[in-house]
A = this chain, B = another copy of it.
């Protein structure tokens, strides 16, 4: 162009591919700088069949939990020079499918966390040639590898710990209906109580928001007999519950023990610091992106394996362990 060379040479210089003579190289570089030329990525990826971009489909993008998850994804992506096209808040399968279609031709693969989607609708929504990795997805959803948190094991361990501390009436604030993680955490709760106890177990409805935890807390404060321990299906609900209990004059952990799930950063700052189950959220994001990157580089290598990330009990003050021990 202005450097009196063909577009082919420009391409070769800018991409460092093909052989170019030094003077030509210089002319091109100089002209590119002068014209502030930047290649048009859409055109480029149309021919290279590569976008160096990952589509990320999440139910939400907000709050500490997703912030941690995205951090893991973002870090791993940056290390590999990949960009992120994010799409959030897909209430139902239809919206998710739409979002996925909109990504066709703009991404090399997708990371999908869609707790309400089952295997069928996911398979229907995913272009069959698009590499994908699933996050916290029910069962073996289709052909893609999946990474899941050990929700069942973590919840079970938490409730067993409460029982070991001597609590008798343990309530659960559940996550939203139809959500895979909610269901697994509830299942862990019930498993820990065993057949005899679970009949008496109080399960309150919630939806993972602080507000729903607050409402559950009000119910708990008024309940008779009042449970002596609560296991909330996530930390945000535990925090909402704590607020409601405090307002009602019910002390934590003296009057009632309180625990959560996730170990979001805020959990250790509240008073009392929250006993919870640590989920490796950042790691979940990182590993799933790595797996996806592999699947993109070598499509044959992708196995629809299911990887489960372990959880860990984090004992702080809200479960009253210190008091119990002292007795």
Chain A residues with CB under 8 Å of chain B are 36, 38-46, 51, 53, 61-64, 66-68, 70-71, 74, 78, 83-89, 101-106, 127-128, 239, 265-266, 269-271
Q: Is the CB of A88 within 8 A of B74?
A: yes
Pick from B40, B43, B74, B85: contact of A53, CB under 8 Å: B85
Extra A-B contacts (8), CB below 8 Å, given A39-B104, A64-B67, A106-B106: A36-B127, A38-B104, A42-B51, A64-B64, A78-B88, A83-B86, A85-B86, A269-B269
Give the distance in Å from the alpha carbon of A270 to the alpha carbon of B84 in the complex: 33
From B45, B85, B127, A83 is in contact (CB under 8 Å) with: B85
Does B105 lie within 8 Å of A41, measured CB to CB?
A: yes
Contact yes or no, A104 B40, CB < 8 A: yes
Q: Are B41 and A104 in contact (CB under 8 A)?
A: yes
**Interface SS, A side:** mixed
Is the beta-carbon distance between B106 and A41 smaller than 8 angstroms?
yes
* B270 A38 Cβ-Cβ under 8 A: no
Residues of B within 8 A of A36 (CB): 127-128
Bound-state Cα–Cα, A288 to B267, Å: 32
Q: How far is the CB of A164 from the nearest CB of chain B, in Å? A: 28
A75 to B204, CA, bound (A): 30
- The answer to whether B61 and A71 touch across the interface, beta carbons within 8 angstroms, is yes
**From residue A11, how far is it (CB to closest CB) to chain B in Å?**
14
- In the assembled complex, the Cα of A68 lies from the Cα of B64 at a distance in Å of 10
A103 to B83 alpha-carbon distance, docked (Å): 9
